[in-house]
Structure 1
Amino acid sequence: MTPVSSDRARDVALAWERLVGEIDEVLRARALSPDRLVVLVPYAQLMDAGRRAWARVHPTGFSPRFESSRNWATSLQPFAPGPGDICMDMARDSLMAAALIDRVAPARADAALRSVMVSRLVEAARQLAPLAAARPPTKRLAWAEPLRTALTAGPQALQWEGLLASLALTWASTSAYATDVLWSSSAQPGFAADFLVVLQGFQADPLAAALVSHWGLNALSVPFELTSRDVGARLHACGDAEDEAQRAAACVIEHVNAGRAPVALVA
């Protein structure tokens, strides 16, 4: 693997220093002990990186808790999915999807169509799961209701698609999630922690955004900005899949030649 360029490593170190500085400002303004603050990172791999960054600036004393949402939830209450919950295990989720389809369309579809429907239902439910988990469990049915109404207003020609979407919405809105404990009394401001800092990732995190709103004045959302040297996103119009692959390869070569490596490709 090509080593990370010194410029990139310096950018990352400076970004962590800025984050630690913002945390220090919060602690001073609120007269809080660091151990009463939770830093919610977007990826579990950043928990150790955050702890190391804090230790470089504050080698002694208490440290904030650097947690991913899943890790924080597990530390508060271990979670075991129930029979009807979305568990992100393909075999279990497929069995549940098949059972849901059998309830509304028993023996109406041939085996090939049924297999496709099961796969599509699992995919749709998993896409909705992060949005459902970003609502308190007591408010999920209310969140789903207007969406369900919109689905029933669709054209008759799309009855199978509408059926799968409705089933996915029902499944996602009635499922329990590992992070549900973050909505409970054991994770309220003043109990598990006094302040929440959410470190934004490259993609929007519905749960993190909802927790910032839930914690109100006791929360702060901060971007992980590397430096102004970052070029930012660029759009390339591609004629077909081959053109897309060639342009992606050209972009990778451009970054490597500029010393920005390793380069990650997201499919």
Structure 2
Amino acid sequence: MSKIADDIKFALWLLLLSGSSSCFGSDPDVQCLKTVQESVIDPNGMLKSSWIFENNTAGFICRFTGVECWHPDENRVLSLRLSNLGLQGQFPQGLENCTSMTGLDLSSNNFSGPIPSNIAWQLSSLTFLDLSYNKFSGELPIGISNITYLNTLNLQHNQLSGRIPSQFALLPRLQEFNVADNQLSGAIPPALQRFPSSNFVGNQGLCGPPLHDCGGRSKRKLRLHRINDESSIGAAAGFVVGFVMAFYFPHLFVFSQNLHPYVFRI
């Protein structure tokens, strides 16, 4: 029941954001996009050629590349979809001014550096976050767990390291989660073990369901070492016994050559 109540509350909140112009003016969203444009490196000029702020008509930012608005006649950003534009630099700045934004897609670019620790403060309303196929590094911020309405979190193919925070269990609406092809380590939190193994592969230090057991590899290595040691000891003991027998009891070692027995002596 509490989840249904939260969903109703969130829906009403989104309706308020989309319908009210008195609570949030258009200036913060325009400033949001200006700051984003200034903070990223745009070698292909994809944003520079499209994000032109000289127009002051209602909804002019809704025609920008990658910008989706709540309504075409309102300068209010619903989502930013900036995938595969060749953008570089660190995580964009100024996103906190897009106060009603629910989706952010920065996938398949060349962004690098850490994911901001205060990302929940910047993007508290997100339901969709895709940072996959970049070069983000450092640890996963615990603050992501405070983006309470998050449904999709895709961090695949970056350079993220450290453990997956157990606090991610605080994301009850999470339906898609992918951290494959990073440098993560440690055990996968129980709340995330329901996702397929393909969403975790490519992290050499990551273990636990749905991947291999955290102690599985070390135990197998220990058993192999033990078998090899025992085999070496057995082979050595057999050689010693055979040598002693041959030295003290040479008459036991009889060979046949042209059907005539003879004794092999040391």
Same fold (TM > 0.5): no
Q: Higher strand share goes to which structure?
A: 2
Structure ranking higher on relative contact order (CA contacts 8 Å, 6+ apart): 1
Greater C-alpha Rg:
2
Q: Higher helix share goes to which structure?
A: 1
TM-score category of the 2 structures, normalised to the smaller one:
under 0.3
